[in-house]
Amino acid sequence: DDLIYVHFLASKTESRRFSQLLTKASEETAVDAGEFFTDLKEKWDKVENKSTVILYGGGAIVAVWLSSIFVGAINSVPLLPKIMELVGLGYTGWFVYRYLLFKSSRKELATDIESLKKKIAETE
């Protein structure tokens, strides 16, 4: 009986801690919807070429939809999903060996990422 009582007290304490943690997390991550939409409206007003943004956004949605259909079709073929998993694992292994295993290759990857960031930043 003592063991059950001790377990009951411990679980009650853990439950209280978890509840306090959830309350704290929800307070920290609470976002004011009005502030969010105000920021969004300000950013939209700064955009000069709205039709291009709408076109790119629509294109992105269509691309995601088409890729979903494509993946669903591949997934319905019996052996193909397992082959694709093997291809993905093989590529992941190659990437780790090529860029993450050795210090010099990690530096090369960091340099490549920085140059890509610069290219992207220059176009904006």
Express each pLDDT in 77-94 by its tens digit. 888 888 889 999 999 999
Q: Dihedral of CA 81/85/86/90: which sign?
A: positive
Q: Please check the confidence at residue 17 and state whether its pLDDT lies above 70.
A: no
Neighbours of 92 (CB within 10 A): 10
Distances (CA, A) of 39 to 5, 17, 43, 54, 58: 53, 35, 6, 18, 22
The length of the chain, given as a count of residues: 124
Percent of the chain with pLDDT over 70: 73
Q: Which residue has the tokens 């295993």?
A: 101
**Per-residue model confidence (pLDDT) at position 6:** 47
Mean predicted lDDT score pLDDT of the chain: 80
Higher pLDDT, 48 or 67: 67
Q: What is residue 93's predicted lDDT score, i.e. its pLDDT?
A: 96
Structure confidence by residue, pLDDT tens digits, 34-51: 788 888 888 888 888 888
